[in-house]
């Protein structure tokens, strides 16, 4: 027991403080040949990540030369923090731009103002055609406002690959996702404090974060209708306690035509 506790303490103050740049492939018949190889960087839940660390994240992302940067909400929200965070993240050189949604800890009006000031496009139950046969949609936060997947995706064409951005993955169990191909989410922090990355008491034994236990803990999951959902651990950390076997992440998804 002491050895197990010791391993978790060591992990919390070493590996779990190092951001993982997780490269993920997404093969799909809905991805057109022209989109094959398209790279999307996904940053969410930076919370208390210091500005200097966020600048390092931007530098690392730029090394991957992504086509698109997506922001999943829950950024520092006090004072001028939203503007500072968006200013830093606007330094990512994504050929097709930067888009983002709000999280439950965000003042969405302040966040969206900061996004627009720095050339980042907020999504709020709406969507946009990024390229031919590629439609990006984003919804409002499930806890604070009224997400509407149908409204966000109504502009998508029948042959479009549709990517939905939502801070909270629970919305994919409450609304129809049959017209969505891939959903990117954050919010659950990989359980934040876990037992070897498998058991997250905050998720398994409580509904304070999610109603669906460990279904949306981290990585790949399915919506109520079978749509693919990828849940990031988030890029930052809370100030109260360190992460334990729930390493912070930046996700880099490459679309592949099959």
The SS3 of residue 41 is strand
For position 11, what pLDDT does the model report?
A: 82
Residues 22, 239: Cα–Cα separation, whole Å: 24
On whether the CB atoms of residues 166 and 183 are closer than 8 A, the answer is yes
For position 19, what pLDDT does the model report?
A: 96
For position 125, what pLDDT does the model report?
A: 98
For position 163, what pLDDT does the model report?
A: 98
DSSP of 2-36: HHHHHHHHHHHHTGGGSPEEEEEEEEETTS-GGGT
Residues 101, 82: Cα–Cα separation, whole Å: 13
- The DSSP bridge partners found for residue 131 are 134
For position 1, what pLDDT does the model report?
A: 85
For position 244, what pLDDT does the model report?
A: 93
CA dihedral sign of residues 208, 102, 153, 98: negative
DSSP letter for 120, please.
P
pTM of this structure: 0.96
Q: What is the pLDDT of residues 210-244, one digit of tens each?
A: 999 999 999 999 999 999 999 999 999 887 778 99
What number does CATH give the domain 2-257?
3.60.21.10
For 211-229, b where at least 16 C-beta lie within 10 A, e where not — what string? Answer: ebebbbbbeebebeeebbb
For position 41, what pLDDT does the model report?
A: 98
pLDDT < 70: residue spans in the chain:
none
Residues 20, 4: Cα–Cα separation, whole Å: 23
Domain ranges, ordered by start, for the chain: 2-257
């Amino acid at each position: 027991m002491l050895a197990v506790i010791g391993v978790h303490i060591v992990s919390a103050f070493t590996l779990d403080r190092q951001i993982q740049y997780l490269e993920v492939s997404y093969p799909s018949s809905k991805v057109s040949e022209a989109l094959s190889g398209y790279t999307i960087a996904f940053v969410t839940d930076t919370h208390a990540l210091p500005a200097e660390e966020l600048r390092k994240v931007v530098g690392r992302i730029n090394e991957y030369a992504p086509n698109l940067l997506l922001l999943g909400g829950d950024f520092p929200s006090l004072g001028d923090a939203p503007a500072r965070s968006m200013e830093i993240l606007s330094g990512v050189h994504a050929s097709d731009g930067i888009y983002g949604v709000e999280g439950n800890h965000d003042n969405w009006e302040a966040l969206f103002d900061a996004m627009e000031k720095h050339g980042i496009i907020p999504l709020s139950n709406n969507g946009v055609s990024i390229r031919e046969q590629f439609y990006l949609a984003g919804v409002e936060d499930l806890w604070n406002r009224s997400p509407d997947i149908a409204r966000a995706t109504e502009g998508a064409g029948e042959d479009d690959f549709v990517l939905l951005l939502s801070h909270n993955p629970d919305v994919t169990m409450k609304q129809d996702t049959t017209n969505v191909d891939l959903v990117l989410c954050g919010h659950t922090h990989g359980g934040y404090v876990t037992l070897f990355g498998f058991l997250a008491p905050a998720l398994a034994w409580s509904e304070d974060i999610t109603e669906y236990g460990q279904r949306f803990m981290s990585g790949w999951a399915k919506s109520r209708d079978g749509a693919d959902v990828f849940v990031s651990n988030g890029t930052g950390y809370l100030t109260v306690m360190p992460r334990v076997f729930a390493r912070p992440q930046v996700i880099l998804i490459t679309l592949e035509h099959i």
